[in-house]
Amino acid sequence: MLLRPLEMAQEMVRGAVESGETVVDATLGNGNDALFLAKLVGEQGKVLGFDVQQEAVDASCSKLAEAGFSGDAFQFNCVGHELLGEFTEGPLAAVMFNLGYLPRADKAVITTAETTLPALEQALSLLRVKGVLTVMCYPGHEGGGAEAEAVLQWASHLARDEARVMRYGMLNAPNCPPFLVAVEKVK
Ligand SMILES: C[S@@+](CC[C@H](N)C(=O)[O-])C[C@H]1O[C@@H](n2cnc3c(N)ncnc32)[C@H](O)[C@@H]1O
């Protein structure tokens, strides 16, 4: 069975991350990716999370607490991911970006290339060798196309001896379907 782009992102992250490592959810939203990451790294690991909306941070904290994780296992910040480098020196095993807007919330609050690209640069520099960076891009909403294009430009120009870069998404779907950009750090 073919995986959806987000499922593919999870497969790639699952293959890269070991229990006890530090990982990042760069766009917390409802905390689904954060919970997925917390289950991978466990109580001995750490999930750092970022979102500019307090409701997203609160929802994500509640989700992990309800799943039984203690406050030691995660640190969620109501801060833009472009400040990632101020919160950790790494090394990071995985960083997940899920761009766009928070479903069922203010659709005016969207990620933009202006902050996404600096965040991607920092994430890549903090990643350990064989660590994975995943970026779910949503070109279908206003502003999403420009951001998705900027992510593609950034990723496709990474040096081949430093990073392996993949793109994955549905080809025969209407209305600019979402796609995944994934980067594995080589050295
Ligand atoms: C598609 S949602 C994320 C979905 C989430 N990963 C989940 O599992 O539910 C995108 C999120 O990015 C957040 N966001 C927007 N600009 C941001 C920024 N500069 N830094 C971090 N998060 C940002 C939005 O507030 C929104 O919650």
The mean predicted confidence, pLDDT, of the chain is 96
Least confident of 99-103, 132-136, 156-160, 161-165: 99-103
Contact residues for 153 (Cβ-Cβ < 8 A; gap 6+): none
What CATH number has the domain spanning 5-185?
A: 3.40.50.150
Q: Is 111 in the pocket of ligand 1 (CB under 6 A)?
A: yes
Among protein residues, the one whose CA lies closest to atom 16 of ligand 1: 111
Instruction: Please give the distance, rounded to the nearest whole angstrom, from the Cα atom of residue 15 to the centre of ligand 1.
Output: 24
The closest of 182, 185, 7, 22 to 88, measured between CA atoms, is 22
Contact 109 CB / ligand 1 (< 6 Å): yes
- pLDDT category, 105, cuts 50, 70, 90? confident
Beta strand pairing call for 163-169 and 179-185? antiparallel
Identity at 95, one-letter amino acid code:
V
How far, in Å, CA of 183 to CA of 112, rounded?
A: 19
Place of tokens 């990474």: 158
Q: How confident is the model at residue 103 (pLDDT cuts 50, 70, 90)?
A: confident
Distances (CA, A) of 12 to 9, 99, 134, 135, 187: 5, 18, 8, 12, 18
Predicted TM-score (pTM) of the model is 0.97
Q: What is the DSSP string of 53-100?
A: -HHHHHHHHHHHHHTT--GGGEEEESS-GGGGGGT----EEEEEEE-S
Q: Closest ligand 1 atom to the C-alpha of 138?
A: 1
* Cα 105 to ligand 1 centre (Å): 11
Residue with CA closest to ligand 1 atom 5: 29
Residue 106 pLDDT greater than 90, yes or no: no
Tokens of 56: 């997203």
- Domain limits, the chain: 5-185
Residue 30 confidence (pLDDT): 95
Region 5-29: mean pLDDT is: 98
Averaged pLDDT, 95-123: 93
Using CA atoms of 17, 38, 125, 184 in order, give the dihedral in degrees to the nearest 10.
Answer: 40
Our mutation pick for probing the ligand 1 site, out of 51, 76, 82, 104, counting the most ligand atoms within 8 A of Cβ, is: 51
CA of 33 to the centre of ligand 1 (A): 11
Q: What is the mean pLDDT of residues 149-160?
A: 98
Q: What number is the average pLDDT over the span 96-117? A: 92
